[in-house]
Structure 1
């Protein structure tokens, strides 16, 4: 049994890299007055377009929200049909980085390992480069993509005791357009991945040092025992 220690700064609010603008953010603390609501679908700027999700006040059901106090979202609601949460559409220009950032943890309730995905859906096909940044998974630049309708980053075998960490999934478009983002739980057991501090930024491509500071800003301290290391998949 392997122990892995995740250390970083105390959690802070999301800050976009210099030259970028945050076009959407939600820490879920103001949703439903900060109170738990099962099968919730009244989010500010988000719509549950398939299945269900639960809004959870930190401490309820034994869940500690990744962002600390307040509320967060269990991506697998209480109907046996896990949720797909989609955003409004956001425009971007060629050369502007579009970055989706969030904190997430395992389900925290001893259920089997979870799988979930982050998506960008384009109104018209887009070309460019893409990758992700994470304090736990590291920094990866996947390279180029050409005339695609969607980008997807999947997280495989996230154990229930997986400590909160950050991830930023981004693309740098070669042409302008518009995109929606979505978060999708891929299991149907009423106990899902827990997400918090969601943000979308659009703007200049940051320097590597700036990304390091952004990731530090998402930091949480914790320790988790992992029998199976989670994996990432890209499509």
Structure 2
């Protein structure tokens, strides 16, 4: 029952559009590799069956002899294609009751609301000016450069900053020190949800500080505060 209430208090997930774009770009190469590999396999098979009448039978025979490699290339391309779809679909930010959950690519992390100093709506182009981006980065940023996004200024990171920036894409971070950038479809809604969860957290802490608590209640409170600080 308690778990159901907690789940109800969690806000909806917001898809991280920057990883959706990365996934779209990643799947281009494997798509063409799949098509090319199947075409080569088909040529080799038709040549082996004697369906194709060609003067260059040596090439067709070699294609058929190399069918194992062609199938391996096809399989690897399919896996890469599925991986690109996966990272696009599982990347999100969610204002949960206990902490802010961010899953970017394959790396998921929780941020305590106590670490959040402020939130602000901004323009993506203001955080990452177009003229200062490399050509390959512009291709990723292009669909979102005019969009609004949410910036969260952090008091501290749960892990070392350099390590976090190696794990996540550069466009997950704002141009200020210790700031996260969330490019989502509805940045104002996400901003409201985060601030609402922060306010609810403050109310819960205020409620715990009022009134008499027996030793067991105090121990439970200290344990909960310790868990809150652990994010």
- Superposition TM-score tier, normalisation by shorter sequence: under 0.3
TM-score normalised by the chain length of structure 2: 0.21
Greater strand share, 1 or 2?
1
The TM-score normalised by the length of structure 1 is 0.20
Per residue, is there more helix in 1 or in 2?
2
- Highest CA radius of gyration, 1 or 2? 2
